[in-house]
Amino acid sequence: MERTLIILKPDAIQRQLAGAILGRFETKGLKIVGTKFTQIPRATLEKHYADHKGKPFYEGLVSFMAKSPVLVLALEGKNAIAICRKMMGATFGSKAEPGTIRGDYGISDSFNLIHGSDSPAAAEKELALFFQPGELVQYDLIGAGWIYDADELK
C-alpha cells in the first residue's frame, strides 16, 4: 500500500468543499490514515514550496496558503499517488476534465482547491513535514476485501 499527502487548500475550505472532496477519496476506496485541520505556518509553507522559490508565483502561493486554514490528509491505498492525481485533474479548473475534483468544483486559473504529492519521494517528504512520527494511524480497513481483488490482499 502507498501513502500520499493531500492538502485541501484555503479555497476548498472557504467554499465548504472539504466534506465533498474527502468523500470522493473515501468513495474511491482510499483509507484515511491522518488528518489535521490547521493554519500552516509560513516557515512550513516555505519548506513545502521550496522547489518553487524564485518563480514568479512563489510569493503569491505562500501568501495564499497562509490566508486560511487547510485540511491536511494522509491517504493510503494501492497506487494512491497516481489515483489521487488523476482524481484531482489538471492543475486549474478551467482546464480540468469534468468528473475530476478540479473539473467539477473549480473554474479559476489561480486557485486550484487541492494539493497532492506527485511521487513516492515527494509523498514521503511531505508526509514527514506535516505529520510527526506516530501521528499516522495503521489499521485494517474491514471492507478492504470489497475494494481490492482478494488475491491482491495476500
Tell me which residues are annotated as active site. 115
Query: Do residues 80 and 127 touch, judged by C-beta distance below 8 A?
Result: no
Packed helices 18-28 and 80-88: angle between N→C axes, nearest 10 degrees: 130
* Nearest-angstrom CA–CA distance, 69 and 67: 7
Rounded distance, CA 147 to CA 130, Å?
28
